[in-house]
């Protein structure tokens, strides 16, 4: 399959399908119909069938999708059938919450290193990690070959941190800081500023 | 202006424009061109001009947008020219980080109450708040007329909490729990499961 042929909007729904399939699996379901997935996700059944048909023939007429096999296939396509090491930068309240969050590992991610520039934080514990000095970030991340970074610093520091991550070879950044990042074309950024979705809802209130 | 005539995809970009304008304002800029906004946001200048034209004639040929006036207008449209009270449910690591987060108030939101069901947490401090017993949520939220909720509980509790929030009159839910919520049509939900954007990026790595 040529990855570039799958529209990004379809790719962006795949993790949502995978999460729903993993929940279905936990509930003990072996098959699930596009209709039932639709009710669980608020995406139309036709859209689900169309999206998933791009990845092969998983659905059987009248029987629905085989939950485990389809989840395996999506994990392979999303490349989360392995566990990615992630570097966390910024160990304030949010950074601590991320370092201690138990929901990453079984979904393909592990925070492997945490950095801060505050001397009071360097050397302290964050989850199972010891916070490291940001001045050592480039070398440590390069040596470990880490490709994914999470930025949980204040907005004022985020662009500089992004530059450091890019320099160290990171190709995917999850940015919690409330600021747009400028990065080279071969680096992807996703944003998790909580105010943005809140403001998207107040428009309609 | 008829709100229902503005496509949701345009509405979803407005908070991003507002955030960029607020940063420009902090930098002391009084005018900003669609081209410069484009470079800051990775949205095309033509798209920005088209989106913003739906809300009135703010741009002047050759001079760009007046930063303060356009930010004011967007705040009015998004209804964040006031501060909304928000109820937080779930005061684990993430809930604590949210309760202590300083970035809400000047962008239209204030966590006004925090609830948990764990007796060890009820009565303790979270940011400036005292954690309250979830069994009192419906009455407290109804009395205060709060319309926005944040769910920071484990996935297994999130749907039940969403039901309680809806029952109490909440119309907008920001859900951090990694699970899709089923709510009535007049309630909006936005999701902030960090694994979803991470998996969207690993597809391309």
Cβ contacts of B45-49, under 8 Å, gap ≥ 24: B48/B17
pLDDT tens across A50-92, in order? 999 988 777 666 778 999 999 999 999 999 999 999 999 999 9
Q: What are phi and psi of B155, to 5 degrees?
A: -55, -40
The whole-model pTM stands at: 0.90
Side by side, the strands of the sheet bearing B84-89 are B132-133, B109-116, B84-89, B148-151, B172-175, B188-191
Tell me how close the Cα of B58 comes to any Cα of chain A, in angstroms. 19
CA atoms of A102 and A98, how far apart (whole Å): 9
pLDDT band at B60 (very low <50, low <70, confident <90, very high): low
B42 vs B92: which has the higher pLDDT = B92
Interface of B with A in 17-76 (CB under 8 A): 18-20, 23, 39-42
Q: Which of A148, A112, A147 is nearest to A132 (CA)?
A: A112
For residue B131, which of B174, B87, B176, B164 has the smallest C-alpha distance?
B87
Pick the closest to residue A112 from A94, A132, A92 (CA basis). A132
Nearest to A202 among B93, B101, B172 (CB): B172
| Residue A18 in tokens | 């995978």
Map out the domains of chain B as residue ranges.
3-78, 84-197
CATH, domain B84-197, list 3.40.50.720, 3.40.50.2300, 3.40.920.10, 3.30.365.10: 3.40.50.720
CB B141 within 8 A of CB B85: no
- Of A199, A39, A155, A115, residue with least CA distance to B15: A199
Cβ–Cβ below 8 Å for B3 and A203: yes
ipTM: 0.94
**Contact residues on chain A for B11, CB-CB shorter than 8 A:** 200, 203-204
| CATH tag, B3-78 | 1.10.10.10
């Amino acid at each position: 399959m040529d990855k570039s042929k799958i529209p990004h909007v379809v790719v962006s729904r795949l993790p949502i399908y995978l999460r729903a399939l993993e929940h279905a699996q936990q509930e003990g379901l072996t098959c699930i119909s596009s209709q039932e997935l639709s009710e669980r996700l608020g995406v139309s059944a036709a859209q689900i069938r169309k999206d998933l048909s791009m990845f092969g023939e998983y659905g059987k007429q009248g029987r629905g999708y085989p939950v485990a096999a389809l989840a395996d296939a999506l994990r392979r396509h999303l490349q989360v059938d392995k566990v990615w090491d992630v570097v966390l930068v910024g160990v304030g309240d949010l950074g601590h919450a991320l370092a201690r969050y138990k929901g990453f590992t079984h979904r393909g991610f592990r925070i492997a290193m945490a950095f801060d520039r505050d001397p009071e934080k360097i050397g302290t514990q964050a989850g199972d990690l010891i916070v490291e000095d940001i001045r050592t970030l480039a070398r440590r991340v390069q040596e470990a070959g880490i490709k994914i970074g999470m930025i949980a610093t204040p907005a004022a520091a985020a662009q500089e941190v992004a530059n450091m991550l890019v320099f160290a070879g990171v190709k995917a950044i999850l940015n919690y800081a409330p600021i747009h990042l400028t990065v080279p074309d071969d680096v992807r950024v996703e944003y998790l500023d909580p105010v943005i979705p809140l403001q998207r809802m107040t428009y309609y209130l």
